Amino acid sequence: MNFTRRRFAQSLAASAALSRLPARALAQEQPSAPARKFGYCIVGLGRISLGHFMPACRMSQTCQVAALVSGHRDKAEKTAAEYNVPLKNIYNYQNFDEIADNPAIDAVYIALPNSMHAEYSVRAANALKHVLCEKPMATSVKDAQNMIAASKAANRKLMIAYRCQYEPTNLHAIQLIRDGRLGVIQAIESANGFNEHAGEWRLDKKLAGGGPLMDVGIYSLNACRYLTGEEPASLEAYCSVIDKDTRFRDVEETCSWTMKFPSGILASCNTTYGANMPGFFRVHGSKGMIHMEPAFAYEGLRLTAKIQGEPPIDEPNQQKDPYQFLLEADDFADCCIHGKEPKANGEEGLRDMQYMAQIYKSCGRSLG
């Protein structure tokens, strides 16, 4: 497929039209009842849910915020008023399992510290609710496997919030590679990191499971997999702590790793909590190169490419946050309503957990 700007715009229009289908499908399935939107129960009222996912649901024609789970009743009531959530649909972590009795809840969106992902995913599945869980999937391979098993036993969908796999600029980069425009791919470079503040839960291994690899390095890991369409055959890694300022007593400060894919493609990745490291990837092929920076941010993404015999490509993405969250929220709702398997399903999240365990083992560390 020749992915022209016109075709790219057409694909976005088609995606927007598709996102409106589930609400109509609900009306068809329940002709005697008024159509309603797909209901998300938000588990954890932190920055990512309040600042990104919930505003996306408010923009959606397919889904809505139907319930809240929080340990702070006053905060939950204030949020409920903003999103027209009935007070009876506010839960805490003690009575969470009562969501099973609420037909307004179709799925949960889990935005808790990493170490809590598995417990509340399993409990949600046991309550017969679909699960959209933030990445990383869990803090151990075993927990990730338990999440998959619970969802399958309940016959419910499980998706990991790899929003970049649904984002049009990342998809365009993948298409350029799949169409052979870059020739034979040789190497990939990627990095992502920032300077973390002392006292954040991400620096507590019991809550986070690891350091920057688990939080932002996972973007580079996952990107190398979806760009190549392959799984790494081997990897080697190093971790280090450079700043001796007590922030990194539990987790690594910086992690670097290399991967070799079955085709021979080599990838080199870096992540850190010790410096601002804008998220990017660069793909080198025999006919050209693509560079995406920012590649993993919530907005402002930009794709450039230099390909032999073609005009240079420079495509800034004008979509604003929370557009990426809208795409993943709508897509998961569509999968649940129509019985389709999510692209970023539990098995996808499990694979990254397994690779991160290997990376830490190569560094002489452990996951979780």
Burial per residue of 74-104, b for 16 or more beta-carbon CB atoms within 10 angstroms, e otherwise: eebeebbeebebeeebbbeeeebeebeebeb
Contact 60, 106 (CB under 8 A): no
Please give the structure tokens belonging to residue 315.
Answer: 């495509």
DSSP state of 214: I
**Could you give the CA distance from residue 136 to residue 112 in angstroms, rounded to a whole number?**
11
Distances (CA, A) of 194 to 206, 216, 273, 306: 21, 9, 5, 28
Distances (CA, A) of 39 to 88, 248, 265, 317: 15, 40, 42, 29
Verify whether residue 219 is a known catalytic residue. Answer: yes
Catalytically annotated residue among 135, 157, 273, 323: 135
Verify whether residue 226 is a known catalytic residue. Answer: no
* Cα 273–Cα 159–Cα 215 angle in degrees, nearest 5: 5
Contact 41, 67 (CB under 8 A): yes
Spell out the residues 6+ positions from residue 97 whose beta carbon is closer than 8 angstroms to its own. 123, 126, 127
Catalytically annotated residue among 91, 109, 166, 219: 219
Backbone angles phi, psi at 201, to 5 degrees: -65, -25
Q: State the helix-helix crossing angle for 323-338 and 21-29, rounded to 10 degrees.
A: 30
Catalytic residue positions, numbered: 135, 219
